[in-house]
Amino acid sequence: ILVMVSVIHSAAAYQSKIVRFLHITFDATGDSFLAGDHHGNIYVFDISANRFRLIQKTGQACTALAFNLRRTTEFLVALADYSVKCFDKDTKQLVSWMRGHEGAVSSVSVHSSGRYAITTSTDTAQLWDLDTFQRKRKLNVRQSVGIQRVFFLPLSNTILSCFSDDSIFAWECDTLFCKYQLPVPDQGPRFHYKAFAVTRDGKTLAAGGRSNLLHLWCLEARQLLRVIQMPPKVRTVRQLDFLPDSFDGGPPCSAVSPNGRHVVTIMDNGGLNIYAVQSLTQEFNKPPPPLVKVVSGGGPSALTVKVKSESVQRPSKTSSRSVKTKVLRPPAVSVAEEKENELPDGLNQKRLLGLLKAFGEYPAKYRMFVWRSLLRLPENHAAFSSLTDKGLHSAYISIQERYPIKSHKLQRGLQRVLSALAHWAAIFGETEYLPLVAFPFVKLFQNNPLLCFEVVATIIVNWCQHWFEYFPNPPLNVLSMVENVLAHHDKELLQHLTDCGVTSQLYVWPLLETLFSEVLTREEWLKLFDNVFSNHPAFLLVTVVSYVTCCRAPLLLCNHKEDFKYFFHHRNNLDISAMIKETYRLMEGTPAEIHPRNMLADFQPLTRGQYPVFNKYPTYIVEYQSQERERIRQQEMEFLRERQAVQELRAETVRRQAEDEAWYTQQELLQQAEEQRRNILQQEENKLAEQRTRLAAMKRELKVKEMQLMDAARRRFQKHQQHQRLTDLHRLDDQIQQKVWRPQESAAAVQDAEVRQIELETQRRLFEQVRNCPSLHSKFPQVLTSLGHRSAPPRQVIYILKITWPRYCHCAVVL
């Protein structure tokens, strides 16, 4: 297996240090993918342009990535801080920031419409609206049961939740109503599911875990289809992916591009390897081995070995009986015929036709491989790119108005293929029924527009011969061929159709212009075109006759033209195998003079390198129609410009009217607001007046209380003053009483005065004695000094004399 590209991310400062990539996810086109490393850097890799660029630095490791949003430039990244952020890869701006998880987000699943996303951690799963980035619902589980993964099923509104106890539930996206639960056995060994993958049609679920077993579940029947055992050395399945088939459109996943061209893997060293799916599927694209292999030689006792596509079985020998064998020898075929029947990839058209006649159809597994070989598609990538680079053709810009398709992917694919056909040949821009021819193959090859274009181009060149000679009318010559064959094989039915006014344009052309896609189911249509592609181009015209003859009974019962119109535009009860057998019978039983084989050229594949020039149509009509279409388109453009100008003028008028209305409304609102504020001010003024009145009343009350208090204080003070004065009067009275002379006191005072007089007289006499007696003067100088200079009362002098000199005192007293 060859690796296209190997990417190793090393740190800038340390070239030897590898920065590991953690997660990868493809965009819707499959031509570019995102990769996030453990440093938080997000890179976008463009495989077709062979370049990459850094688009975001988150600063922390990412735990999950998603890139299939409705707005193709936006992507979701789950970070190590349990948050989910939405960035724009072109502007590198943060679009939104979603929080709510309490654990690391392990996966992000985006709805096929791109509007909703589910983020899953071990404890919860949360449903987000990507238009508003608001959380709509939250799924909580018990701590004992963790969540393994929650994701949308492709092309549906079903959510699948897988838990750690191996239980799997399906929920309705809008109502979160539980639709069903897969019957996982309760008993027996645990499977420990860890990895899950779903096919693109959402019908099959693959689950794996801690074993070498893979379980395939049918989600429609809700039962286990089969168990696939891998080699014994496989112990754990970590990731599962359905590899998209280039033809049937397998499921997109985080590691496989939706277009099925590339696979990106994260290696053990943290690098990226980009593989081409074509190199991975070389073994699967090999043609199947022959069903019967003849071993000749060895005489009649030799054994014939039967080799089937899946296993080899040999008849066992018995000792009692001899084995009868028949040696099969291929018929003699010329070298030129054998070379003519050789197909690419080692297939042989004649052998394939024999296999087809034996089983009625090709194996579904190899059908697209066989078709590609039968049609000998050249796969001119450069030529197809030159056609697609011209963009959408003007004839198919508004095709959704004529042919509304629910799937936007199919709508874009149909536009792309039809535009490429219109750029290849001008008539295909004027052919109204071309979308009916191309749509079944667009739906079948929706992931490979190159093969779709080449298949449709091959059908136009070979099976649509002479269809455009009477353009823009139906191909009357081709319809006449079919009518001649029908007239030869069933004149009664043709006469009935003629009597009812039903022409070949009513019963042949509806089948041809839709290639039977309206009247057959998918399986019936595939089985029919297995035979159409394996035979001459006339086989398709003869098939129309066989369809009409096989529906002979109900057609004979119809008598109104409207009934015939309805019959050839809707599905009917028909055995497709019987119809194909009838076609082969008519191919062999139709006379050569009316056989379409003699009027149509043999199969011619598309040339390699460049597509052939297609001019088998009246060019003047197509050119006239093209000119008319261009003139009408110019008129429409002019009309659209005028209408746009009128609409802009009307919009401007409406805008001005709206502005005027808004201004008047605003003025009215302002007036109302002013009136309201005036009322509020008036109310406030009234409240203030009331408050002032109450305040004045309170002031009066306070004044009265103050006067009362002052009066009480005055009275109390007066009382106190009165009491004080009374006290003073009493004190004065007491003092007066004390000062009033009483007789005893007067007598005592007189006595004291007399004693004083006596003392003074005595003192005088003493002084005189001392003064006259020198001896006393020398002995008692201090006494004399004291007596001579003191003015003490007589009692004190006498007392002193008694202390100092009692005899003189006594003597003095005597004196």
Does the pLDDT at position 531 exceed 80? Answer: yes
Looking at residue 283, what is its pLDDT? 55
Looking at residue 780, what is its pLDDT? 52
Does the pLDDT at position 315 exceed 60? Answer: no
The better pLDDT of the pair 33, 627 is held by 33
Cα gap 569→560, rounded to integer Å: 15
Cα gap 174→158, rounded to integer Å: 9
Cα gap 251→187, rounded to integer Å: 32
Looking at residue 609, what is its pLDDT? 84
Q: Average pLDDT of the chain?
A: 80
As to burial, measured by CB atoms within 10 angstroms (0-12 exposed, 13-18 middle, 19+ buried), residue 409 is middle
The better pLDDT of the pair 253, 604 is held by 604
Model confidence over 354-403: pLDDT tens digits?
888 888 899 988 898 899 899 999 988 989 989 998 988 888 888 888 88
Looking at residue 434, what is its pLDDT? 92
The better pLDDT of the pair 560, 308 is held by 560
Model confidence over 425-453: pLDDT tens digits?
888 888 889 999 999 999 998 888 899 99
Looking at residue 243, what is its pLDDT? 73
Confidence at 722, pLDDT banded by 50, 70, 90: confident
Q: Are 244 and 252 in contact (CB under 8 A)?
A: yes
Confidence at 318, pLDDT banded by 50, 70, 90: very low
The better pLDDT of the pair 252, 381 is held by 381
User: What share of the chain in percent tops pLDDT 70?
Assistant: 80
Q: Mean pLDDT, to the nearest integer, of 112-117?
A: 85
Does the pLDDT at position 546 exceed 70? Answer: yes
Looking at residue 512, what is its pLDDT? 93
The beta strand positions in 130-276, using DSSP E, are 134-140, 147-152, 158-163, 168-172, 178-181, 193-198, 204-209, 213-218, 223-229, 262-266, 272-276
Looking at residue 710, what is its pLDDT? 87
Q: Mean pLDDT, to the nearest integer, of 409-432?
A: 90
Lowest mean pLDDT across 236-245, 274-283, 631-640, 667-676: 274-283
The three-class DSSP label of residue 329 is coil
Looking at residue 345, what is its pLDDT? 60
As to burial, measured by CB atoms within 10 angstroms (0-12 exposed, 13-18 middle, 19+ buried), residue 433 is middle
User: What share of the chain in percent tops pLDDT 90?
Assistant: 22
Q: Mean pLDDT, to the nearest integer, of 720-738?
A: 84
The better pLDDT of the pair 768, 335 is held by 768
Spell out the residues 6+ positions from residue 324 whose beta carbon is closer than 8 angstroms to its own: none
Helix (H) or strand (E) holding 64: strand 62-66
Q: Mean pLDDT, to the nearest integer, of 565-578?
A: 91
Spell out the residues 6+ positions from residue 326 whose beta carbon is closer than 8 angstroms to its own: 304
The better pLDDT of the pair 802, 635 is held by 635
Confidence at 734, pLDDT banded by 50, 70, 90: confident
Cα gap 736→443, rounded to integer Å: 142
Lowest mean pLDDT across 146-160, 366-380, 461-475, 800-814: 800-814
Cα gap 31→64, rounded to integer Å: 20
Model confidence over 31-85: pLDDT tens digits?
888 998 888 889 998 888 888 889 988 888 888 998 867 788 888 999 988 899 9
Lowest mean pLDDT across 51-60, 265-274, 407-416, 775-784: 775-784
Q: Mean pLDDT, to the nearest integer, of 771-778?
A: 65
Could you tell me which of 536, 535, 540 has the C-alpha nearest to residue 517?
Answer: 540
Token pair 């965009």: residue: 27
Looking at residue 84, what is its pLDDT? 92
As to burial, measured by CB atoms within 10 angstroms (0-12 exposed, 13-18 middle, 19+ buried), residue 385 is exposed
Predicted TM-score (pTM) of the model is: 0.45
Q: Which amino acid is at 749?
A: A
Model confidence over 192-227: pLDDT tens digits?
888 888 888 888 899 998 888 888 989 888 888 888
Q: Mean pLDDT, to the nearest integer, of 248-262?
A: 58
Looking at residue 327, what is its pLDDT? 39
Q: Mean pLDDT, to the nearest integer, of 609-615?
A: 87
